[in-house]
């Protein structure tokens, strides 16, 4: 039996190149969201607007979730050199994205509850003030989306657009982005509902749009939970890199007896490979040469079983 590491790699290079922009961007968005939340809560209390108060407290849940994303980046960076993490601390970021997605589901449930409550017991809404603050909230959300978009672009510039780039998203950054977009979408729905109520007296439109917004947020949350769970549970055996490994190794009389592939970074994979062959001269170094064309394979354990005879 032979084992061989594909390359000597560092935690910082694999897991945190380009993450400084994502971390600082997420932290900035968190503070902007906290300020906007405070404005909405104070305005709602001052104008006696239940709509603004509800939106302000709703925004507080987004502030907590985005703060969670920022904390995940900080923890992953701080623990990047901790040898107890066999493949580095990158999955802390994915765990942050998963927790943030759960928060999104809680937000959706709160939105449905508040909407049903308003349908049953309608509240008097101060439309001009509520619309003004809702528009301000939308502008703030668009600014936050721009900040996180720049962080995503910076990450692409640092890491490049290698093979299977569509599979290499920063799920922690994506979770923060979805929170901001969810806020922007609910702001748009709130503005439409408030205008409809102000102009046409359709007071039912506000809670109805709340339910629509909740369904939209729940859908985004469900998709994000599926993506982050896939990484956390190492469900990667359907990834194209698995077929690439098989194609690189299976040649001549060589057969793959066992293969396990899992992700250890946004663009980094580890594999455990067991080979059966009649070629007594086959070494791990040769297998290493075959796999080296795939730069995303950063660590491999290779077992070679030599079978005598033809």
With b for 16 or more beta-carbon neighbours within 10 A and e for fewer, the 35-64 pattern comes to: ebbebbbebbeebebbbbbbbbebbbbbbb
Distances in Å between the alpha carbon of 217 and those of 90, 109, 161? 26, 10, 29
pLDDT tens profile 41-65: 787 777 666 666 666 777 777 788 8
Last residue of a domain, one of 232, 252, 287: 232
Question: Phi then psi for 87, rounded to 5 degrees?
Answer: -120, 30
Contact (Cβ atoms closer than 8 angstroms) between residue 149 and residue 174: no
Q: Based on the fold, state whether residues 109 and 246 are members of the same structural domain.
A: no
Q: Based on the fold, state whether residues 141 and 256 are members of the same structural domain.
A: no
201-205 long-range contacts (CB < 8 A, ≥24 apart) are 203/122, 203/125, 204/119, 204/122
Q: What Rg value do the Cα atoms of the chain yield, rounded?
A: 25
Residue 33 CB partners (closer than 8 Å, separation 6+): 59, 62, 63, 66, 140, 144, 180, 183
Rounded to an integer, what distance in angstroms lies between the CA atom of residue 310 and that of residue 308? 7
Q: Based on the fold, state whether residues 189 and 286 are members of the same structural domain.
A: no
Q: What is the mean pLDDT of each run of 10 residues along the chain (310 residues)?
A: 42 50 85 86 71 70 83 84 81 86 86 82 76 86 86 59 50 83 82 86 80 84 88 87 91 89 85 90 89 88 82
Rounded to an integer, what distance in angstroms lies between the CA atom of residue 217 and that of residue 107? 8
Q: Based on the fold, state whether residues 134 and 187 are members of the same structural domain.
A: yes
Q: Based on the fold, state whether residues 117 and 201 are members of the same structural domain.
A: yes
Task: Give the dihedral sign, CA 117/118/120/124.
Answer: positive
Q: What pLDDT sits at residue 7?
A: 40
Q: Quick check: is 295 in a domain?
A: yes
Q: Based on the fold, state whether residues 104 and 37 are members of the same structural domain.
A: yes
298: domain CATH number is: 3.30.300.90
Q: Based on the fold, state whether residues 120 and 206 are members of the same structural domain.
A: yes
Q: Based on the fold, state whether residues 271 and 167 are members of the same structural domain.
A: no
pLDDT tens profile 191-222: 888 888 888 888 788 778 878 878 888 888 89
The pTM (predicted TM-score) of the whole model is 0.73
Q: Quick check: is 193 in a domain?
A: yes
Q: Based on the fold, state whether residues 270 and 175 are members of the same structural domain.
A: no
Last residue of a domain, one of 215, 232, 249: 232
Residue with tokens 């932290």: 27
Helical H runs in the chain? Answer: 11-16, 19-46, 50-78, 91-120, 127-159, 171-200, 205-232, 240-249, 284-291
Q: Based on the fold, state whether residues 117 and 40 are members of the same structural domain.
A: yes
Q: Where in the sequence is the domain holding 265, given as residue range(s)? A: 240-306
Count of domains observed in the chain = 2
Q: Quick check: is 196 in a domain?
A: yes
Q: Quick check: is 1 in a domain?
A: no
Distances in Å between the alpha carbon of 122 and those of 46, 126, 205? 19, 13, 11
Q: How many residues does the chain have?
A: 310
Q: Which residues pair with 301 in a beta bridge?
A: 272
Last residue of a domain, one of 205, 232, 259: 232
């Amino acid at each position: 039996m032979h084992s061989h590491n594909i390359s000597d790699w560092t935690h910082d290079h694999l897991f945190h190149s380009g993450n400084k922009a994502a971390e600082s961007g997420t932290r900035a968005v968190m503070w902007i969201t906290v300020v906007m939340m405070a404005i909405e809560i104070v305005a709602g209390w001052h104008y006696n607007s239940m709509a603004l108060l509800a939106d302000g407290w709703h925004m507080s849940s987004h502030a907590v979730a985005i703060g969670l994303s920022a904390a995940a980046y900080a923890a992953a960076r701080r623990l990047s050199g901790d040898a107890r993490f066999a493949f580095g601390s990158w999955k802390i970021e994915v765990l942050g994205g998963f927790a943030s997605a759960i928060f999104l589901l809680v937000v959706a449930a709160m939105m449905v509850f508040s909407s049903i409550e308003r349908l049953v017991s309608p509240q008097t809404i101060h439309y001009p003030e509520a619309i003004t603050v809702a528009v301000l909230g939308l502008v703030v959300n668009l600014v936050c989306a721009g900040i996180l978009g720049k962080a995503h672009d910076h990450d692409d510039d640092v890491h490049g657009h290698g093979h299977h780039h569509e599979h290499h998203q920063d799920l922690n950054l994506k979770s923060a982005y979805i929170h901001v977009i969810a806020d922007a979408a609910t702001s748009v729905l709130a503005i439409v509902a408030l205008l409809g109520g102000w102009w046409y007296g359709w007071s039912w439109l506000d809670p109805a749009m709340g339910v629509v917004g909740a369904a939209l947020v729940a859908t985004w949350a469900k998709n994000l939970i599926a993506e982050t769970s896939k990484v956390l549970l190492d469900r990667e055996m359907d990834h194209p890199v698995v077929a690439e490994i098989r194609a690189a190794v299976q040649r001549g009389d060589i057969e793959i007896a066992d293969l396990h592939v899992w992700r250890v970074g946004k663009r980094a994979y580890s594999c455990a490979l067991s080979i059966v062959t009649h070629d007594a001269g086959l070494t791990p170094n040769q297998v290493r040469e075959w796999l080296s064309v795939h730069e995303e394979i950063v660590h491999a354990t290779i077992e070679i079983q030599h079978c005598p005879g033809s």
